[in-house]
């Protein structure tokens, strides 16, 4: 799809549809989310049983919730799960009790510095329960008895994740990871999913060079589970990134892989150089890039966001809703991701077949004077740069970084030079000395 407006509207519609679903680390909310994604792209859904050992972790029990509330003495729901899933701490154990406000307060979570917002909280491994509410609502609660109910189950079940694969000419894979575990967080979780769906659809329209593997999984335990189940084939992953926080108005941000200088790191830096952006070095904190970049795997996987996690005020609050994300921002993220993919797909190393002196371009129809045709200046410069650096040691991305010419312009120039008989891929040329090439 090459219509940014249409793509942006479709992505925003998907965010709005997914936003009300109560997702968590496991459970039916994750399954429902994957069902909706599966309406746009085919998914291979995996169910991993509770108790399964995955690296140093164990797949937890499955959590599902039907209803939850706190009622005051009049029977009014002062906290209501039906209003937003953020009102219940994720993985809360079931509870049905009546207690005074003084006791209830021990289980209530607010944001005093953002008194109008409801926070997002989880208690995955805490075996406890709790509610989240705005500080403004808490201040209005009167002393007295409150009825508390969390109608949830925590029992043996499964961890659910899904994959979508776009096959390519090579077995070499590009992995793109999105989280499916957070409820009602439009930018932090859902915008990345929406962008990934659009990218997958675009890739399916052509036969890519690489194989693209999209993984939709809960954070941390999901990626650890995927890595454990694919340990014998992770060497196929040549490039990758986690996609999150993809729809807010902030500038694009790329966090490098642990290695820091891989092709995906360089491709992202080159693409973002034409936009307002920020580049971050790797740290072992953040999203699941840290699982793929753990020292035993050390895979070339970075993180692409707009505003990074924890760097925008709506992060992990009820303000991270569909109004925060915009079709325009998601379309811009999608455009950047597609350009990064174009670099991964198009990067080649060439050999100049006429390396002694500058070949005559005019007789091959490859020269138009930049002085007379100013609109052609970039193309002519791209031709000259490629001819000079196509020695079998410099790729197109190397040349793009050195020349500051857009990668796409270099691809076009390389195509013209190849058609003109002046260039060939280094991999197709036998090993020989410069003298023999002459």
Q: DSSP per residue over 71-104, as a string?
A: E-TTS-EEEETTT-GGGB-BTPPPEEEEEEHHHH
pLDDT digits (tens, 9 = 90+) for 105-148: 999 999 999 999 999 999 999 899 999 999 999 999 999 999 99
Note the pLDDT of residue 2: 74
Q: Which helix (H) or strand (E) holds 153?
A: strand 145-155
Give the closest residue to 89 by CA, choosing from 22, 20, 164: 22
Q: What is the mean pLDDT of residues 234-241?
A: 98
State percent of the chain over pLDDT 70.
Answer: 95
Q: What is the pLDDT of residues 345-380, one digit of tens each?
A: 999 999 999 999 999 998 888 876 655 445 688 899
| Mean pLDDT rounded to a whole number for the chain | 94
The Cα 128–Cα 384 span in angstroms is: 66
Q: Which residues face 216 on adjacent strands?
A: 162, 178
Q: Where are the alpha helices (DSSP H) in 175-220?
A: 191-204
Query: Which segments of 9-143 are extended strands (E)?
Result: 44-49, 53-54, 57-58, 62-71, 77-80, 95-100, 108-109, 131-132
Q: What pLDDT, on a 0 to 100 scale, did the predictor assign at position 206?
A: 87
User: Distance (Å, rounded) from C-alpha 261 to C-alpha 69?
Assistant: 50
Fold of 349-437: Arc Repressor Mutant, subunit A (1.10.10)
Determine the Cα–Cα distance for residues 233 and 140; give it in Å rounded to an integer: 56
Domain boundaries, the chain: 4-60+158-346, 63-155, 349-437
Class of domain 4-60+158-346: alpha beta
DSSP state of 117: -
Q: 248, 310 in Cβ contact below 8 A?
A: no
Read off φ and ψ for residue 236, nearest 5 degrees: -75, -20
CA dist 248 and 187 (Å) reads 6
Q: How many residues does the chain have?
A: 438
Percentage of residues of the chain with pLDDT beyond 90:
90
Element holding 423 (H helix, E strand): strand 423-425
Note the pLDDT of residue 434: 38
SS3 content of the chain, % helix, strand, coil (to 5): 35, 25, 40
Measured over the CA atoms of residue 417, residue 419, residue 425 and residue 429, the dihedral's sign is: negative
pLDDT at 437 over 80: no
429 has a pLDDT exceeding 60: no
Q: How far apart are CA 124 and CA 335, in angstroms?
A: 36
What are the beta bridge partners of residue 237?
Answer: 173
Please state the rounded mean pLDDT for residues 390-413: 95
Choose among 372, 219, 342, 388: nearest CA to 289.
Answer: 219
pLDDT category, 438, cuts 50, 70, 90? very low
Residue range 324-336: mean pLDDT, rounded? 98
Strand partners, 351: 391, 424
Rounded to two decimals, what is the model's pTM?
A: 0.94
Q: Looking at the predicted structure, is the pLDDT value of residue 300 above 90? A: yes
pLDDT the model gives residue 431: 44
Return the pLDDT at 432: 42
Give the number of other Cβ atoms within 10 Å of residue 78's Cβ. 17
User: For 254-261, what is the mean pLDDT?
Assistant: 98
CATH of domain 63-155: 3.50.30.90
pLDDT band at 256 (very low <50, low <70, confident <90, very high): very high
What gap in Å lies between CA 99 and CA 103, rounded to an integer? 6
173-179/252-255 β-pairing? unpaired
| pLDDT tens figures, 28-78 | 999 999 999 999 999 999 999 999 999 999 999 999 999 999 999 999 999
The answer for 423, left when phi > 0, alpha when psi is -120 to 50, beta otherwise, is beta
**Backbone dihedral angles phi then psi of residue 124, each to the nearest 5 degrees:** -50, -45
Report how far residue 181's alpha carbon sits from residue 191's, in angstroms, rounded to the nearest whole number: 13
């Amino acid at each position: 799809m090459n219509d940014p407006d249409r793509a942006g509207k479709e992505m925003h519609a998907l965010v709005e549809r997914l936003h009300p679903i109560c997702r968590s680390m496991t459970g039916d909310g994750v399954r429902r989310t994957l069902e909706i994604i599966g309406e746009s792209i085919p998914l291979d859904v995996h169910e991993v049983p509770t108790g399964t050992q995955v690296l140093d972790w164990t797949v937890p029990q499955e959590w599902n919730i039907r209803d939850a509330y706190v009622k005051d003495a009049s029977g009014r729901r002062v906290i209501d799960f039906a209003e937003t899933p953020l009102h219940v701490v994720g993985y809360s154990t079931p509870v049905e009790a009546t207690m005074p406000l003084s006791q209830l307060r021990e289980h209530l979570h607010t944001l005093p510095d953002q008194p109008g917002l409801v926070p997002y909280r989880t208690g995955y491994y805490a075996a406890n329960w709790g509610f989240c509410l705005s500080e403004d609502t808490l201040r209005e609660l009167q002393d007295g008895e409150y009825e508390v109910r969390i109608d949830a189950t925590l029992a043996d079940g499964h961890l659910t994740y899904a994959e979508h694969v776009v096959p390519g000419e090579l077995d070499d894979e590009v992995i793109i990871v999105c989280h499916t575990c957070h409820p009602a967080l439009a930018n932090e979780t859902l915008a990345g999913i929406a962008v990934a769906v659009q990218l997958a659809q675009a890739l399916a329209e052509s036969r890519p060079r690489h194989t693209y593997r999209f993984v939709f999984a809960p954070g941390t335990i999901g990626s650890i589970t995927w890595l454990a189940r694919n340990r014998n084939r992770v060497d196929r992953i040549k490039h990758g990134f986690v996609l999150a926080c993809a729809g807010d108005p902030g500038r694009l941000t790329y966090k490098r892989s642990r290695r820091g200088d891989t092709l995906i790191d360089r491709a992202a830096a080159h693409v973002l150089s034409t936009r307002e952006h920020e580049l971050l070095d790797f740290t072992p904190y953040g999203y699941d890039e840290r699982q793929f970049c753990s020292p035993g795997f050390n895979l070339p996987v970075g993180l692409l966001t707009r505003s990074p996690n924890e760097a925008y005020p709506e992060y992990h609050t009820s303000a991270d809703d569909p109004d925060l994300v915009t079709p325009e921002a998601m379309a811009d993220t999608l455009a950047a991701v597609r350009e990064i993919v174009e670099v991964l797909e198009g990067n080649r190393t060439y050999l100049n077949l006429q390396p002694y002196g500058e070949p005559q371009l005019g007789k091959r129809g490859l020269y138009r004077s930049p002085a007379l045709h100013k609109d052609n200046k970039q193309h002519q410069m791209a031709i000259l740069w490629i001819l000079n650096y196509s020695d079998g040691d410099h790729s197109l991305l190397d040349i793009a970084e050195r020349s500051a010419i857009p990668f796409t312009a270099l691809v076009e120039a390389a195509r013209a030079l190849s058609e003109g008989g002046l260039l060939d891929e280094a991999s197709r040329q036998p090993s020989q000395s410069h003298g023999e090439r002459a």
